[in-house]
Amino acid sequence: MSERIGFIGLGIMGQGMALNLLKAGFAVRVWNRTARRSQAAAAAGAVVGSSPADVAAHSDIIITCVSDTPDVEAVILGPDGVIHGAQAGSLVIDMSTISPQTTKEIAAKLADKGVQMLDAPISGGSEGAAKGTLSIMVGGDAQQVARAMPAFEAMGKAITHVGGTAAGQTVKLVNQILVVGNMLAVGEALLFAQQGGLDLNKTLEAVSAGAAGSWMLSNRGPQVVNRDWRPGFTIDLQQKDLRLVLEAGDQLGVPMLGTSMVFNLYRTLQQQGLGAEGNHALVKALEHLAGVEIGG
Amino acid sequence: MSERIGFIGLGIMGQGMALNLLKAGFAVRVWNRTARRSQAAAAAGAVVGSSPADVAAHSDIIITCVSDTPDVEAVILGPDGVIHGAQAGSLVIDMSTISPQTTKEIAAKLADKGVQMLDAPISGGSEGAAKGTLSIMVGGDAQQVARAMPAFEAMGKAITHVGGTAAGQTVKLVNQILVVGNMLAVGEALLFAQQGGLDLNKTLEAVSAGAAGSWMLSNRGPQVVNRDWRPGFTIDLQQKDLRLVLEAGDQLGVPMLGTSMVFNLYRTLQQQGLGAEGNHALVKALEHLAGVEIGG
C-alpha cells in the first residue's frame, strides 16, 4: 500500500503537484491558508484537512510547498502546525525555497519528535509543476530519499539527491545565482548590441550556439527582443530567492558581487511596480540607466 | 581560378587558419612580424612575403589576424602596410578582434583606394583554428561576404553575416560580454556551493541541464572544480577584449555593470602574474576576496 500523502500549500506550484500525486494514485489530504484554493484538488479526490496538524496526523509523508522561510516555519512549527500532528516515523518534505540555515533548525526540531525531514526545492516553473516535469534538488538522508522517490517521480523528472539536510536548498540557491548572473549578461549584451546598431535576432543567432550560449540566452533572449515580459518566474519571487542567497553568502563569507548587484537592480524594478513581470525584465533596469529601450 | 590569399599574422590562431587555407588549395602568401613563425606555413607551400605591402601587392584577398587595434592599424595603415600594396578591387578581411570604431576608420581609408574591407572576428580558440571549426562573425558588404565565403569555409563552420562594416566586431564584443558574465556567475555559484558544504560535481550535475545552464558552466565548471587553469582563451586576451567592450560601451552610453566588474577583477589577476591562465581563472579573484579556494 502506498504511503498517505499530506500536501500543504496549493499555490501556483502546489496546485499542479498535488493533482499529479492524485493522478499517480496516492491518497492525498490537502490544506491551504486560503481555503477556496483547495477546491481543484478536492474535486480530483483529495480530502481537505482542517489544519497542517490535522493533515500531518492523517499522513505518512507531509509535503510543504509555500512561499518563504516564515511561511514554512508557520505551517510546520506554528500553532496547529505539522509538528503538533505528525507521528514518529513520518516524513516531512519541504519543497519551498527557503533558508538553508532555517531548514537545519526545523529538521532538528522534527527529529526531536522522531519525524524525518527532507528539503526538496524545485525548479521548472508552473508549467513544470502542471506537467510533472519539475527538477527536484533533494537534501537529507538517503533512505528517506528512496522512500520519497515514488512521490517525487509523480511530480518531477530530474531528481537529484545532492547531499545531507539543507543541501537541496543550497543547490537551489546555486541555481538562482547562475540564473540571474546569466540574465544580467544577456541584458547587458542585448542593450550593447542594440546601441551598437546590430540586428538583435541575427546577433542571437550568431552567439547562442558557442561559448556565449546559455539557457537564458536561448529562452529569454528572444523574449527580451520581443519585449515579452510574461513571467516564467516573477521578479518578486526571484528577489525573495536572492535575499536568501545574500543571507547565506553573508553567513558563509562568500563575496556575491554579481548577485548582490542584480538584487539591487531588481529592487529598483519592484519599486516601480514591475515585481509581477518575468525575472528577465532585469534588462529594464539597464534600460532605465541608459534611457533607451531594446526594440524601442 | 580561386583568388590568391595573403595572410598576415601567424600567431596561435593564424597558424592553423593559414594551414587550412593551404589545405583547401588556395595559393597563400604570408607575413609575420616574427619571421620564424612563417616556417610551418612555408613548409606547407606558402610563399613568405617581405612586408604587409608586399603580401597585399600579390594577393586578391588579404587577411589580417593580429592581436589588438594598434597592431591592425600598423599592418594595414603603417609604413609598408597593406594599404601601400593593395590593388583597387582587392579585399582586406580583418579577423582580429579590435575596436568597431577603428574598424570603420580603416575601412574608409581603404575605400578611398578602391579596396574593400570586411571585419570577421572569430571564436573557437586555437583548437577551432587548427580544426577549421571556428565561428566567424562577419560585418560588411554582402557581395564581398559572398566573395570571401570559400576562404571562410576553409577556416570555419558557423559563418554568420551579421550586418554592415564593424557589425562583426560589435557581435564579437557581445559574445565576450556573455562569456565573462556567465563565467562570473559560474565562479560565484561554485564558491558559494563549496562554502555551503556541497559536493561540487553533484551540484554541477543538478543544475547544468536547466535554466541555470550555460556553455561556460558545462565546459569550464568542471575545469574550475579540478583547478585546471589551462587556457582555451587567456585572461590577457580577454582583458584586451573587455577593454574594447568598455570603450565601445562608453561611446554608446550603455551601462556595462557586470562587464566592468569582471574587467577590474581580471586586472587584479594580471597584477598577480596570472594573465596567461585561462579566462575561467576569474574565480580566483573571488577566492582571493574570500580567502578560500575551491577544492582547497
CB contact under 8 A, A189 and B197: no
Judge whether A64 and A76 are in contact, CB under 8 Å. Answer: yes
**pLDDT tier at A125 (50, 70, 90 boundaries)?**
confident
Q: Please provide the average confidence, as pLDDT, over all residues in chain A.
A: 96
Whole-number pLDDT of residue B101: 96
Mind listing the pLDDT tens digit for each residue in A87-109? 999 999 999 999 999 999 999 99
This model of the complex carries an ipTM of 0.94
**pLDDT tier at B12 (50, 70, 90 boundaries)?**
confident
Q: How far is B192 from chain A (nearest CA, A)?
A: 6
CB contact under 8 A, A163 and B198: yes
CB contact under 8 A, B182 and A185: yes
Q: Nearest CB to A207: which of B178, B184, B258?
A: B178
Query: Does residue B142 belong to the interface with chain A, where contact is any CB pair within 8 Å?
Result: no
Whole-number pLDDT of residue A130: 95
Mind listing the pLDDT tens digit for each residue in A154-203? 999 999 999 999 999 999 999 999 999 999 999 999 999 999 999 999 99
Whole-number pLDDT of residue A1: 60
Q: Phi/psi of residue A6, each to 5°?
A: -105, 140
Mind listing the pLDDT tens digit for each residue in B104-147? 999 999 999 999 999 999 998 888 999 999 999 999 999 999 99
Mind listing the pLDDT tens digit for each residue in B267-282? 999 999 999 999 999 9
CATH 3.40.50.720 maps onto chain A at 5-164
Whole-number pLDDT of residue A296: 61
| Interface with B, mutate which of A180, A207, A241 (most B CBs under 10 A) | A207
Closest-CA residue to B5 (of B55, B48, B49, B51)? B55
Q: If one looks up domain A170-290 in CATH, what number appears?
A: 1.10.1040.10
**pLDDT tier at B2 (50, 70, 90 boundaries)?**
confident
pTM: 0.94
Is B113 labeled as catalytic in the residue annotation? no
Mind listing the pLDDT tens digit for each residue in A235-277? 999 999 999 999 999 999 999 999 999 999 999 999 999 999 9
Count of alpha carbons within 13 angstroms of residue B251, beta-carbon side? 14
- pLDDT above 90 as % of chain A: 95
Distance, CA of A47 to CA of A31 (rounded, Å): 9
Distance, CA of B155 to CA of B152 (rounded, Å): 5
CA–CA–CA angle B248, B158, B278 (5° rounding): 60
CB contact under 8 A, B211 and A175: yes
Chain-centre distance for alpha carbon A67:
8
Closest-CA residue to A136 (of A91, A95, A92)? A95
From B172, B202, B240, B284, the catalytic residue: B172
* DSSP class per residue in A26-87: --EEEE-SSGGGGHHHHHTTPEEPSSHHHHHHT-SEEEE--SSHHHHHHHHHSTT-GGGTPP
Mutual angle of helices B100-112 and B167-195, in 10-degree steps:
160
Per-residue pLDDT for B296 more than 80?
no
**All residues at 6 or more sequence positions from B43 whose CB lies less than 8 Å from its CB, including other chains:** none
Mean pLDDT along residues A229-240 = 94
For A5-164, give the CATH class: alpha beta
Distance, CA of B279 to CA of A131 (rounded, Å): 40
CATH 1.10.1040.10 maps onto chain B at 170-290
Mind listing the pLDDT tens digit for each residue in A53-77? 999 999 999 999 999 999 999 999 9
Within 8 A of A182 by CB-CB distance, chain B residues are 181-182, 185, 212, 214
**What three-state secondary structure class fits B139?**
strand
Place of cell 590568391: B4
